[in-house]
Structure 1
Amino acid sequence: MTKLTLGAHPFLLGFDQLERLVERTAKSSNEGYPPYNIEQTSERDYRISLAVAGFSEQDLSITVEDRQLVVRGRQNDVGERVYLHRGIATRQFQRSFVLADGMEVGEAVLENGLLHIDLNRQLPDAVVQTIRIKRSGK
């Protein structure tokens, strides 16, 4: 029996990229740091909130790379401190989120140790295309 993949289904033409995207996302699953929430704030709006306590705006970067929202954090060590207990994570991180077509990144706000990134889904224009049928030249 042959395994039927998403990209090979006869009614899903051109979806082989989607299958590769799902595989890439599964392989790049991040560890649990930093923790995050994703909430739907309206019918077409979303918000990703990452817990980044101890990071400043200068320690964080947000980019969109090949339909992926990438959030990176890197803190600069300030002097040499002597910790008796170090329970607050200050390691660098990279957290990626795959964006669907039509998703746009809005503003990002750092507030009370949470980095909020707003997303908006743009509705595609409804297009009806009529294809002209030619006669064969026999």
Structure 2
Amino acid sequence: MSRLSMFNSPLLLGFDHFERVIDRISKNQAEGYPPYNIEQVGETHLRITLAVAGFSEADLSVSLEDNQLVIRGAKPAEDTERVYLHRGIASRQFQRAFVLAEGIEITSASLENGLLHINLERPLNAPKVRRIPIDASSRKSSLRETGSPTTADKENG
């Protein structure tokens, strides 16, 4: 089945990597465990909070892989001595990934009362405007190199 790309416009040059990022995000959205919040805690600060009840610091890992924040949780082998009448606290292994925009930095991670907090900073970037000079002499020199006559050559000619 052919898929229509939203980034195949000739006006969107160099944005093909965004399509791959969107594909990764849509695959990650399917899983809902563990639940999480994303909050803005300042003008340039964000916090991701994951509910990881039952996991210790040793059971969790937080890493940055390319532009993805990846959180993994894995519990050691089950305690076979316990007999559960009801088991409502999930302790299965998980992997949750967040695609980060360029420039976002992870400042810290902490585990508190079953919540894993990951603090991020998004620096404010001033818009960049760069003027590109137009050099008309480069056209004349490139025409001379290719052997095409210039206007001056035709007049003298």
TM-score category, normalised to shorter length: 0.7 to 0.9
- Asked if 2 retains the 8 angstrom alpha-carbon contact of 1:105 and 1:119, the reply is yes
Task: Quote the Cα distance in structure 2 between the aligned partners of 1:116 and 1:72.
Answer: 14
**Equivalent residue letter for 1:67:** N
* CA pair 30-56 structure 1, distance change in 2 beyond 3 A: farther
Rounded to whole Å, the distance in 1 between the matches of 2:101 and 2:79 is: 42
| Counterpart in the other structure of 1:66 | 66
Say whether the 8 Å CA contact 2:48–2:117 is kept in structure 1: yes
Stretch moving more, 78-87 or 45-54? 78-87
Aligned to 1:48: 48
Aligned positions, number: 136
Is the counterpart of residue 10 in structure 1 residue 25 in structure 2? no
How far apart, in 1, do the equivalents of 2:48 and 2:128 lie? 31
User: 1:10 is matched by which residue type in structure 2?
Assistant: P
- Tell me the TM-score normalised to structure 1 length: 0.87
More helix by share: 2
Aligned ranges 1:16-55 → 2 under 5 Å: 16-55=16-55
CA distance in 2: counterparts of 1:70 and 1:113, whole angstroms:
18
Query: How far apart, CA to CA, are the structure 2 residues paired with 1:66 and 1:125?
Result: 24
Correspondence 1:62-101 to 2 at 5 A: 62-77=62-77, 79-80=79-80, 81-101=82-102
Match of 2:119 in 1: 118
TM norm structure 2: 0.77
The alignment yields a C-alpha RMSD, in angstroms, of 2.0
The structure with the larger Rg is: 2
Aligned to 2:106: 105
Whole-angstrom CA distance in 1 between matches of 2:27 and 2:7 = 18
Aligned partners of 2:28 and 2:96 also within 8 Å: no
- Provide the secondary structure at the position in 1 that maps to 2:7: helix
More strand, by proportion? 1
Cα distance in 2 for partners of 1:61, 1:5 equals 35
- Gaps (5+ residues) in structure 2? 144-157
Q: Which ranges of structure 1 fall in alignment gaps of 5 or more residues?
A: none
